[in-house]
Each structure stands twice: as structure tokens, then as C-alpha cells.
Amino acid sequence: MPEHKKAAPLILASASPRRRELLAELGYQFDIVPAEVTEHEAPDADPRVMVAHNAALKADWVAARHPDATVIGADTTVFIDRTVLNKPRDTADARAMLRMLSGRRHTVFTGLAVRRLSDGLRLDRGVASEVTFKVLDEATIELYLSKVHTLDKAGGYGIQEHGDLIVAGFTGSLTNIVGLPVDEMKQLLTQAGLGR
């Protein structure tokens, strides 16, 4: 694996195991520094504005503490019926979200922010994908909840974990739905001078 300049490490401002895996698949070496910020998560928020704000909030917080590093912030949410579905509070909340998504199409929005204080680099990108759910009966919802830890996932589901039980199809970036759109991420890192 090619080495990056030691003076400019890459940092992922997220504890998400899915984002870590996707960024690693691009072949980058990076550190993980979760941002200690309070994200904006109002159910009636504009999802594009909300994910852009939260991604920038995370990237800015970590970049302020690592000024020479190139820092990636990301935030993903699910949007249906003019309502933002963030991470469920508990299993009952996850169950309610799956019922709401059942048999319908929704949008997954991710905001990306890349920051590097040493040279003032600020890059932002928004990505959207559409997901269509199968019609879910109660038994399927309970089966899915028994197989997948849903409390750390926007919308109460992860397409990469037993998605065949609940998802009928999708359009757009699959990795966006998982939590880090890799094509757009690669473009931003190339713009930041970290092309592969």
C-alpha cells in the first residue's frame, strides 16, 4: 500500500464501523478520531441542510485539534413523509420506523465534509439515493430486528445487513445508503491532493 506523507495524515471524524470499512476499501491509511459534538437531528429539518451541517461540524471539530491533517466528516439520514429518521431511540422506535418505510420509497442523504486547516482546504458534497422497501409484515419486522442491531443506524436499518429481508430495490449509490458514498469520497480526496 503506498505511503502518504507523514506530515498530513488522513483522519475519519466518525466512529462508524461501516464508514471505516468503506474508507479502508478505497486503500487509504487513516486514523479515527470521533468528533465530540452535538449533532442537529430535528425530525422536521431539511435533510440536505442537516447532513451538510453535521458533517461540517464533525470535520471542523477534529480539524481544529489536528490542523495538519486532512479530516473527513460524514452524516447520513433517512427522509420520508417530510420527516427525518435518524438513529432510533430504542427497539420500539426502530419497529415504528420499519413500519413507516414498509412498501414505500424513501431517500437516503449523506453530507460529506473534508477539512484541512493548514492550507484552508474546505470541500463539501451532498449525495442522495432512493431505497424502496418491500411490504413488511410484523413477523418480518421482528425477524429483521432479531438479526440486526438497528439502534446505530439512521432509519432503523442497514441495507448491508440482511437487506434482502426488507429492501425491494434502490437507485443511486449503494455505499451512500451504507453511510459513505465512496465515488464522491474518492473525488473529494483527489481534490484534496490525496488521489490514489
Judge contact between 55 and 124, C-beta under 8 A.
yes
Distance from C-alpha of 136 to C-alpha of 105, rounded to nearest angstrom: 13
Cα Rg, the chain, nearest whole Å: 17
Cell numbers found for residue 117: 486547516
Which CA distances in Å does 66 have to 11, 16, 71?
Answer: 9, 20, 8
44 carries an active-site annotation: no
Q: What is the DSSP letter of 183?
A: H
Instruction: Considering the candidates 31, 60, 75, 119, report the single residue annotated as catalytic.
Output: 75
Beta bridge mates, 121:
116
Q: So which residues are the catalytic ones?
A: 75
